Amino acid sequence: MNAIQGARLLLLRGLYQDFHCGPSVSLSSSAVAVKAEKLGFMKLYGSNVIAVDRNRKSLAFCGDDVRSSFFKPMKANKDSDASLTDDCRAFSGKNLHEISTVGKSTNIMWHECSIGKLDRQELLQQKGCVIWITGLSGSGKSTLACALSRGLHLRGKLANVLDGDNVRHGLNSDLSFRVEDRAENIRRIGEVAKLFADAGVICIASLISPYRKDRDACRALLPEGDFIEVFIDVPLQVCEERDPKGLYKLARAGKIKGFTGVDDPYEPPENCEIILQQKGKDCVSPRDMAETVISYLEEKGYLQA
């Protein structure tokens, strides 16, 4: 054994004492094998330069002949159902029968992960769902959404708001307010809301969504019960008097075309889960409306896993 090889062995012995990397360690002058039960198997060849930093507890391998092979991939905790497969069939192309076409997307395949919605819900201690707040402009949808988000946050529950105007600042900025673009706006928000619900998050979508068929299409994306439609039933006259954005005034003046409630229809829900109704000028506070929705969530078991 020459001096350089002896120095390498001393370095590796010192590393093993510091890190205790596995139950089996063997050292030799020409090759070093470090075997860890759950991490795999690595070979270090004698021509490599090895550097150890004890303070940072790191190991560096340098040289042209650095090679490693992991015969078994790292496995998850034995208590978990999740594990990494050691079956190469996942890459063999033997699942071609699952290749599909969806819309204009061809040659695609759904990839299922070992951690699913139930696992995420257990982690968050809540059930993912979509609360879809619909109503005329000026009815108080965004105000309710924020009050609801705050009420859930104070209870330690994770929620996120998809506000119609906010989404049009980014994802849907390419869409106008024509009928076909409104339908696409709702479709996209419905798909995003579905992803949030699948992540175990309580998703609060607040937007006019004037057409019943578009709202029903979003409902159909989720399992039964996970789409909670909240209709803020405020008379058009009251909404016009509020006119927080000045849009009714512009619509009446003909400066905005296709404005819901003025020259474009609003189709109220027929079988929604919650109706928050305002008659006359008596206004229920946003906090009280939020508590009504939260009570529904508690009753249906969405605030626990």
- Strands 105-108 vs 202-206: parallel, antiparallel or unpaired: unpaired
CA end-to-end distance (rounded Å), the chain: 63
Burial 38-66 (b: 16+ CB within 10 A, else e): eebebebeeebebebeeeeeebeeeeeeb
CB 129 within 8 A of CB 159: no
What would the two tokens of residue 25 be?
């360690």
| Strand blocks (E) in the chain | 24-27, 31-36, 40-45, 49-53, 58-62, 67-68, 100-102, 105-108, 129-134, 159-163, 202-206, 227-233, 274-277
**CA 263 to chain centroid:** 37
98: DSSP letter: G
Catalytic annotation present for 47: no
User: Which of the following is catalytic: 69, 114, 209, 295?
Assistant: 209
Residues marked active site are found at 209
